[in-house]
Amino acid sequence: MKRFAALMTSAALLATQAGLAQMGAPGERPPMMSAVPGPLAAKYKSDADKILQAAMADDEGYAHLAYLTDHIGKRLSGSPQLNTAVEWGAELMRKAGLQNVQIQPVMVPHWVRGNESATITYKGETGTITKPLHMLGLGMSVGTPKGGITAPVVFVHDFAEFDALSNDQVKGKIVVFNPGWHGYGVGSMYRTGSQGRSAAKGAAAVLVRSATGLAMQTPHTGTLRYDEKQAKIPSAAISVEDALLIERLAKEGPVQVHLEMDAHMEPDVKAGNVIGEIVGSEHPEQVVVLGGHIDSWDVGQGAQDDGSGIMATFEAVSLIHKLGLKPKRTIRIVFWVNEENGGAGGRAYRQWIGDKIGDQVAAIEMDGGAEKPLGIGYGGFGRARRPAPPSPGAAAAAPAPSGFDESSLSAEEKQSFVYMRDIVCLLGSIGTDTVSPGGGGSDIGPIVADGVPALSPHTVGDHYFDWHHTEADTLDKVDPDSFKRNTAMLSVVAYVLADMDGRLAGRKGVARE
């Protein structure tokens, strides 16, 4: 999950599931609305029970995830492994009997990490400390000159402290940011936004505390965003422990870091979105689309982020087909490409839809891990996406509050919540019978900005940010039972949305990178 593309205006407020759990202060949860039975629960009970029973007994989805993670592995955009996964995904859809299976060509960036290392040196009255740092270069970063960079450290907690420094205090030095842990939104704001403002004052490089609350000497990568008006400087994430060590030592005396990074860009590579369908029986032109992103970072196995998402959504669609259920509208599964460091797949899908955007009935993205699901998130009505990095000299905005004002909804939006609370009545047996205001994801951001209703699973979110973007994002982190519950919930929701007479309401916004 890169949390890089599809930042929304307040009109859209498109939070991802993971964002719902942790975009604000750690531990915050969006409000959960309980199920309220209505005509949809009565009409679809029999079909839903069949889906739930089949999903909870199904082992194929998890087996597919195991193959993807163990045998194909990490799938960075531009890598041979990604294109192997794309071809495998298309064949998987064909074998499942889905219709109109295709690979939509998409050109993706090819960033190469190369060798990298960092070492800290402190010389004080009590002696010298030299030790390697636990680090991972940030995606799309430039590398250091051959032989690396050796420079003094400037330690700051936040942008306010940094902006108070003069250019002379920063020029030629390595800036270390440690904003603490205040949720992923704040952490990723420093990861993506510290390079430009540091370069503007002449910094040689940037090191950022990893965007996680877990301290286990595990660095977290993720993409950055360079300011095209400034020089591009090498940037890396360091572990929580190392960030705190630098903070302590910097209070005692001068700290120096030697940084070496071979990171570089190569020409774009052809990859693709993987698409398959169950064609609607009455309104085939109308589409409920669901999926996740097939690419991952080049560390770990991309198991939670986002192998679990594409395999749970695929199995959700596959089960509907296996059970012989024929919804009135088309159900489309998409494995989007290049979510982590570019968003090319989501943009290409929007271009492919063209002027048929009004036929996109709903978009469901699973990109927050397959932890225990609590229910489904719907629409742009809860917490805002994480704030964009402030411009130099401007104060960093706090994440928007998570309050939900039902009275501000339109009549169509209120009716949509009635529909959703009715639908989740079908999910009581698996414990996912709630609706939360807020749902979406980066890949569906471009179509959701044009008014397509957005949904995403709402999970407990206990450990997702401990694992994602790290070497620890491996299959063993995905609990089979939780995976099945996510699959079951997605399958029932997608099927009912594709077959019911009514439609959900969406909100238009502005997607930007």
Domain end call among 262, 278, 307: 262
Residues 34 and 69 in one domain: yes
Q: Are 2 and 223 in contact (CB under 8 A)?
A: yes
Within a domain: 398 = no
Within a domain: 8 = no
Out of 116, 260, 339, 371, pick the active-site residue.
339
pLDDT at 12 over 90: no
> Which tokens is 220 given?
């977290």
- Beta-carbon-side half-sphere exposure of residue 263 (alpha carbons within 13 Å): 24
Within a domain: 140 = yes
What stretches of 210-359 adopt beta strand conformation (E)? 235-238, 255-261, 264-278, 283-293, 329-336
> Which tokens is 236 given?
């890396």
Residues 99 and 119 in one domain: no
148: phi > 0 → left, psi -120 to 50 → alpha, else beta; which? left
Q: Mean pLDDT in the chain? A: 91
Residues in the chain, total: 513
* Catalytic-residue membership of 339: yes
Residues 26 and 122 in one domain: no
Q: Are 329 and 283 in contact (CB under 8 A)?
A: yes
Domain that holds residue 418: 17-109+269-388+403-499
Domain harbouring 25, CATH code = 3.40.630.10
Within a domain: 12 = no
> Which tokens is 488 given?
């079951």
Count of H-run helices and E-run strands, the chain = 14, 17
Domain end call among 262, 281, 310: 262
Residues 340 and 414 in one domain: yes
Residues 178 and 75 in one domain: no
Residues 238 and 274 in one domain: no
Within a domain: 411 = yes
Residues 164 and 241 in one domain: yes
How far, in whole angstroms, is CA 118 from its chain's centroid?
27
Domain end call among 206, 233, 262: 262
- The fraction of the chain above a pLDDT of 70, given in percent, is 89
Q: Are 222 and 300 in contact (CB under 8 A)?
A: no
Residues 53 and 195 in one domain: no
Within a domain: 64 = yes
Q: Is the pTM of this model over 0.85?
A: yes
Within a domain: 300 = yes
Residue type, 415: Q
Q: Residue 91 and residue 335: Cα distance in Å, rounded?
A: 13
pLDDT for 217-269, tens place per residue?
999 999 999 999 999 999 999 999 999 999 999 999 999 999 999 999 999 99
Residues 352 and 369 in one domain: yes
pLDDT for 449-485, tens place per residue?
999 999 999 999 999 999 999 999 999 999 999 999 9
Residues 231 and 321 in one domain: no
Q: Residue 434 and residue 443: Cα distance in Å, rounded?
A: 24
Within a domain: 393 = no
- The fraction of the chain above a pLDDT of 90, given in percent, is 86
Q: Give the number of domains in the chain.
A: 2
Residues 356 and 473 in one domain: yes
Helix H, strand E, coil C: the string for 432-486 is CCEEEECCCCCCCHHHHCECCCEEEEEECCCCHHHHCCCCCCCHHHCCHHHHHHH
What stretches of 279-350 adopt beta strand conformation (E)? 283-293, 329-336
Residue bearing tokens 């029932």: 492
pLDDT for 61-103, tens place per residue?
999 999 999 999 999 999 999 999 999 999 999 999 999 999 9
pLDDT value of residue 394: 53
Closest by CA position to 238, among listed 268, 218, 253, 255: 218
Q: Residue 348 and residue 65: Cα distance in Å, rounded?
A: 25
Residues 336 and 243 in one domain: no
Domain harbouring 169, CATH code = 3.50.30.30
Helix H, strand E, coil C: the string for 380-403 is CCCCCCCCCCCCCCCCCCCCCCCC
pLDDT for 283-301, tens place per residue?
999 999 999 999 999 999 9
Closest by CA position to 233, among listed 263, 204, 260: 204
